[in-house]
Amino acid sequence: MPGPVFIDGDRVELRTVEEEDVDFLQKLINDPTIRRSLVNRTPVNGQQEREWFEESASDGDGDDVDLLICRDGNALGSVGLHGHDPLGVSCEIGIFLAEEHWGEGYGTAASRLVTDYAFRELRYHRVMARVFEDNVGSTRIWEKLGFRHEGTFEESEYVDGEYVDVDVYAVLEDEWFDRTA
C-alpha cells in the first residue's frame, strides 16, 4: 500500500513512495511501452530499484521529490521533481503512468499538483519537462497546463534503433500563477 497522502487533489492523490512500492515501480520502469518514453534504457532489477529507493526516494536531501500517483489509494504511476541547479531556480518534472491509465487525465492532474507544489512550497522559479518527439500524451499534458515549447534537441536520444528529437517545455512561476488566478 502506498504511503500517506502528501498532496491531495480532486482526481488523484500524490503519496510518499514506500519500500512496499518498489516492486510496482520496478515493473513499470521495465515495461517496454513505458520505457520507450524514458531516458533509462537498461533493465532495472529488484536490487537496483531498492537501491534507488534507499539512495534517492528516501534520503530526504531535498534535491529530488518522488511521489506515487494514486487514485483511491491505488498506485497508477510516479511523478517527481528533480533539481538541476545549485541555486534552486529550475527543476524538471518526470512522470510515468501504467499504460492502462493513459488518456484518463491522471497525468495532467498529477502534473498540475506537483507543478503547483514546486512553485508554492519549494520556491522554484522555472519548471520544465522533456518529451520524446512521438509522445503525444505527454505533449498534451504540458500544453494543457500552459507550459511553453522552448525548443527541440534534435536527434538527442536513441530509441528503438533510431535517433529522436526531444522537446523541452517550461513554465515560469509568474506565468503559472497568472494562468491559475
Domain ranges of the chain: 5-180
Report the DSSP beta bridge partners of residue 92.
82, 128
What homologous superfamily does CATH list for 5-180? Gcn5-related N-acetyltransferase (GNAT) (3.40.630.30)
Q: What is the pLDDT of residue 88?
A: 82
Task: Give the separation between CA 42 and CA 143, rounded to whole angstroms.
Answer: 30
CB atoms within 10 A of CB 98: 18
Nearest to 92 by CA among 53, 38, 35: 38
- pLDDT per residue rounded down to tens, the chain (181 residues): 688 999 999 999 999 999 999 999 999 988 988 888 887 777 888 888 888 888 876 665 557 899 999 999 999 999 999 986 778 899 999 999 999 999 999 999 999 999 999 999 999 999 999 999 989 999 999 999 999 999 999 999 988 889 999 999 999 999 999 986 6
Nearest to 9 by CA among 108, 94, 140: 108
Place of cell 503559472: 176
Q: Which amino acid is at 29?
A: I
